[in-house]
Structures are given as C-alpha cells and as structure tokens.
Amino acid sequence: MALNKLFVGVITAVMLMSPVAGAAGAVSPAPQAIDDPPTTGQPVEQSGDFINVTQSVDVWNSAPFTLRVDRSQNNAIATAVENMDTGVRLDNLPPGVNADLGINRLVVHENAATIDLGFDPGDNLDNEQVHLISARIESTDTQVPSTTNIDTLRQFIRDNADSDDVTFDNISSQQVTNGGADFTINNAEPGSYLYMAVVTNSGQGLNVDNNGDITVPGEVSVVGVDSAIVQETASTLSVQRASETYAAGDSVTFDVNANLGSSDIEHAVAIWNESQVASENLALVAPSDIDADTTPDEFEIEHSIDEVNGVQRTKDDVSAFGRTLTSNKRSGVYALPDVITFLANEGEFSEPQTDSVGDSRINASVTSKQAGSDTTLTVDTLENFAPGEYVAVHVAMVEGEPTRMSSNRVDFEVINAISSGSNSVDDGRTNVQLTGDGNVRNVSVRLPSDSGVKNVSVTESSSPTGGAPTPDNSVATYLDISGDSSVSEDTEVTVTISQSRLDEVGIATENAVLLHYVDGAWKQLATDATPTNGDVRLTATSSGLSPFAVAESSTTDEDDDDSSGGGG
C-alpha cells in the first residue's frame, strides 16, 4: 500500500534496515500487446543467472541494478532525503553491471511529474528490445515488493497478474544501444509503483489488457526493476517552536496537515540526523545461490551503523510494511539487529542476518497515529542525542486509499542544553525560570501586543544556535529564546545571569551586553546592566527573538537600533 511504502522509505532511513526509495509512474488508458518476434541474442543466453519465477517468466540476477528512476532534483521531486551509501554483493554478476544500488536518495515525486528512467545492463543485451512495464498498487492489501528481493518479486508476479489490487501498463519500448536505453513517463499519477524492464524470449511475450491485467502467452525475462512513489499533494509540516531549536531530551511537536480532503488519515513523522546517515554505508549480501525459493532471512546486511538510539511510538494500529504495527512505545539504545528483529516480528516477515562492520550510533525517532487531516504529532528525542541539524519527514495517506498520499520535510536543530525552561504568556509578558546547570537564572520577555505568542521557551547552551557563527566578542553564554509563533517587532528581553560567570570569562558588569543574531549577523544591543544579589540583570530591546548571547561590549559593533530584521 502507498503509505506502507512511504513508511518503509522513512523508517528505513531512520532504522536503516534496507535500501528503498521512491519515485513515480503513470497509467495509460489503452492496452498494448507485446508481440515482438524472438530476438537473436536471447536474454537467457546472456551472462549471469536467470531465476525461474513462473513457467513463462524468468528474473535476471542483475535486475536489481540495471533499471533506475532519476532521483535527482531535475525530476520534480516533492520530498527528498539523503540516504546512506547502499550497495549489494552478489556472485556471478555479468561484466559491466554496477552493484551500486544507486538509490542514495529517498524521494517522493510531485503529482503529474515527468519521470525519467535509465536502463544500463552493462555489456549485455545490445540490440534487444526492452519494454517498460508498470504495476500500480491500488489496494491496502498489497505492497510494492522489495526490488532487491527475488522472493518478493516472484510472489508479486505470481499473485497479482490478474489481481484487482494491481493495475499493469505497458509504458513503452526501447532498443538497447551502446549499453543502455532511456524511458520517460509524462504526467505521473499519484500512487506506488513497481517498474520492470522486460525482454521477450519467445512467442508473443506478454500482454496487458483493458483491465490492467497481464498475461504471458510467450516467454519473457525481467531484466530490470525499480520502485516508485508519486504523491497527490504536499502535506503541511512545521515545528511549533519558531526558532526550530530544541534541546536534546525535548519532545518536538509538529503541526501537520495532510491536505488530502479527508478526515480519516494515517500520519507518521520521523526524525534523524540526515548528514550523519548519509555518511554511513550499508551492503546487502546475497547468498551464493539464489533461486525462486530464496527468502529474506538468507540475505545478510553489512552496516557501518552499530546502534540506533531513539524512541519509536506507534499509535492506533497504524499500518506499515503491509502489516499492522500495534500500539507501543520503545525508547533507548538498540543494536541494529535488534531494531530489524523488532520491526520484522511486528510486521511478520523474515528478517535478514546482520553484521556490524562499524561502531556508529544513529539518533532517530518516529511517531505515527490515525487522526484527522489537521493534527499534531509529538516525536521524542533523548538526552544523549548528538547536537546538530536534524530532518523531520511527514508522510500521510487516506485510510484505505493507497493512491492518496502526501509528504513534506522540515529541518530543525538539536543542541546540548546547559539549562532550559518555558512559560505561558500573559498580557504580552512572561518570566521563564531556567533549570539545569546553567548560568542564567531567568529570562523575562515583553512582547508586542499583537504578537500572538502564547508560550516562550528558553534554552541555554555553550555554543551558538540557529546556524549562527561564533561572534568576535568574548561570550559568557548563548541563549535560544523562542515563541510558538514568530516575532519580528520590537521585543524587550531581560536576562539574569550570575555575576560569577561574568567574572569567570573576564567580562566587567558595565561591559556586559546582549547580542542578537538577526539577518545573518550578530548585532550588539543597547543594554542596561544592573547588579542584583550576586547576579547581573541585562535588559535590551531586540527586533524579535531567536538566538542571543551574553557577551562583552564591542564599541565598534554597537547597534542601538536592532529593528531591521526579525527573529523567531
């Protein structure tokens, strides 16, 4: 089903189970019969092994590597995340076939996108006529098969040739020249697809009728496969904190809207450190002998990731992997084999063997639930989450309608907090008490009367937040002060910091100022400094919120009017 495939795309990237990706396809209204005469260089005589799927259909062992959807930004990509470096080790690959899976980006295409596919069989199949066949999943009882698993491909072809759950289409045919062929699909319709590059061995090959059913009156070989996703529309996704900055251990709440015109929606939001995942490696190691009875547990996954650290929260029996994930919550550090086993057991499918060849720990969490179109999802981080920029991906599907899906992504920052706190706003004012091992006691904020901010959160850290660089000034501490909606007008901020911290970094009370990061630069605010009971109270007016720092004054940088830009 469509959302299952989206879940697989998201949770795979998060839990790092196996390489999958998404793209798209279209369905033409008129049937087309494949009736080419037998070619002189029959595929069964090419290099490599062919695995019998049915009496009339074979699958080339190089099929997982030869056909690829274009996942670049040139192809109307709606949502994309960088994935780890993925590959396959398989015996008896023919000359020229690249064992790189070529799916290092996980993508969802826009509605009505133009989708390009390339077929690259290496030094094989020159002058063969290759047909591109699409299979569109139209039922929640069927899922797109893994393009790296011969067993699931076998089952898919056997079970769905005349199924009402899958619509087949003969897209077009091309002759392989100079080791390759290109295909283009225009106006891709929403849905989850399997694409197959097929050559005729004998007879009339295969036929697709008016109902989208496929028959094979002759004999054919599947010589390339890839999977694909096209969404109906973009979902809406935003973090509730305007600065998009959270301390490790915080719960991150997202406002989401599926935008699918239905009140019965399955939602999921997953978060992880995208750049770290992209630097890792995963290889799917195939058994030496693959045949029609090969199952996933005969494969082995070699991975540079040793542990997955995070929280998995599934609610309301949301479907994933073609099965039901029962309501549960798990958190903590898990070895990657444990994650795969857990997901495999919940999804009731065989798990591959795993072999860790590295010691990396990936921080990742996911929350899913059934709700209306417009809702909130809260995803938990843990206190040991490494600081950095994280991606959040939202996927949604109308219950029981796999062709009706949406997705989006947003980035946010996780920091190591020294102390933190939050408080509601009353009549434009709030006083936030900070708890932890920090140096700031409290932060008071007086907002514009029409700001609309209902809650203010403050996080103290030892490094700049919000992508800000380290300022030239001597700094006592950094603060992220954020409302639940953005503020761009004059806002009074009062920070109470310990005198001992100023003394420790050599900042005299009269030289202590607030810095505000706005419009891509640190601006020094005109600051009143008042000693009080072993602390120093610093008051200044800024143009909105977002990153601040308590620092030593630099007269050359002083800017008494910080009203040229807005903060978070």
Q: What is the pLDDT along the chain (568 residues), one digit of tens a residue?
A: 333 333 333 333 333 322 222 222 222 222 233 333 333 334 334 444 666 666 788 888 778 788 999 988 777 899 988 888 877 776 666 666 556 666 778 889 999 999 999 999 988 898 999 999 998 887 666 666 665 555 566 566 666 666 677 888 999 999 999 989 999 999 999 988 889 999 999 888 888 888 888 888 889 999 998 888 899 999 999 999 988 999 999 999 999 999 999 999 989 888 999 898 889 887 777 777 766 566 657 777 788 888 888 888 876 555 433 333 444 555 665 545 555 454 444 434 455 677 778 888 889 888 888 899 999 999 999 999 999 999 999 989 898 888 899 999 999 999 999 999 999 999 999 999 999 999 999 999 999 988 999 999 999 999 999 889 999 999 999 999 999 998 989 999 999 999 999 999 999 999 999 999 999 999 999 999 999 999 999 999 999 998 999 999 997 444 444 544 444 5
Position 158 scores a pLDDT of 62
Burial grade of 492 (CB within 10 A; 0-12, 13-18, 19 or more)? middle
- Does a structural domain hold residue 567? no
Position 411 scores a pLDDT of 96
| Residue 310 and residue 209 share a domain | no
Position 403 scores a pLDDT of 87
Position 85 scores a pLDDT of 80
- Does a structural domain hold residue 312? yes
| Residue 311 and residue 455 share a domain | no
User: Of all residues in the chain, what percent are helix, strand and coil, respectively (each to 5)?
Assistant: 10, 50, 40
| Residue 169 and residue 28 share a domain | yes
Token match 């009402």: residue?
164
| Residue 158 and residue 33 share a domain | yes
| Residue 508 and residue 389 share a domain | no
First-to-final CA distance of the chain: 39
Burial grade of 324 (CB within 10 A; 0-12, 13-18, 19 or more)? middle
Integer Cα distance of 9 and 1 in angstroms: 12
CATH assignment of the domain containing 328: 2.20.130.20
C-beta of residue 559 within 8 angstroms of C-beta of residue 480:
no
Q: At what angle do helices 336-347 and 2-15 cross, to 10 degrees?
A: 160
Among 230, 261, 283, give the residue marking a domain's end.
Answer: 230
Q: How many Å is the Cα radius of gyration of the chain?
A: 28
Which amino acid is located at 133 in the chain?
I
- Does a structural domain hold residue 562? no
Among 415, 450, 466, give the residue marking a domain's end.
Answer: 415
Residues paired with residue 455 on neighbouring β-strands, in sequence order: 424
C-beta of residue 406 within 8 angstroms of C-beta of residue 231:
yes
| Residue 376 and residue 245 share a domain | yes
- Does a structural domain hold residue 564? no
- Does a structural domain hold residue 565? no
- Does a structural domain hold residue 107? yes
C-beta of residue 13 within 8 angstroms of C-beta of residue 106:
yes
Question: How far, CA to CA in Å, does 432 sit from each of 323, 419, 427, 460?
Answer: 45, 11, 15, 12
pTM, full prediction: 0.80
Distance, C-alpha 558 to centroid of its chain: 42
| Residue 492 and residue 387 share a domain | no
- Does a structural domain hold residue 153? yes
Distance, C-alpha 464 to centroid of its chain: 26
Give per-residue burial for 260-282: e unless 16+ CB within 10 Å, then b. Answer: bebeebbbbbbbbbbebbeebeb
CATH assignment of the domain containing 481: 2.60.220
Integer Cα distance of 128 and 50 in angstroms: 17
| Residue 349 and residue 281 share a domain | yes
Integer Cα distance of 161 and 112 in angstroms: 26
Among 212, 230, 248, give the residue marking a domain's end.
Answer: 230
Question: How far, CA to CA in Å, does 59 sit from each of 199, 213, 219, 224?
Answer: 10, 19, 11, 8
| Residue 226 and residue 90 share a domain | yes
- The pair of three-digit structure tokens given for residue 363, joined into one six-digit string: 């921080």
CA angle 307-308-310, nearest 5°? 140
Integer Cα distance of 33 and 509 in angstroms: 85
- Does a structural domain hold residue 196? yes
Number of domains in the chain: 3
| Residue 368 and residue 440 share a domain | no
Containing domain of residue 141, as a range? 2-230
Integer Cα distance of 463 and 461 in angstroms: 6
| Residue 178 and residue 158 share a domain | yes
| Residue 365 and residue 326 share a domain | yes
- φ and ψ at 484, to 5 degrees? -80, 0
C-beta of residue 277 within 8 angstroms of C-beta of residue 16:
yes
Question: How many residues does the structure list for the chain?
Answer: 568
Integer Cα distance of 526 and 560 in angstroms: 5
Question: How far, CA to CA in Å, does 299 sit from each of 19, 332, 354?
Answer: 13, 27, 9
Mapped onto helix, strand or coil, the DSSP state of residue 422 is: strand
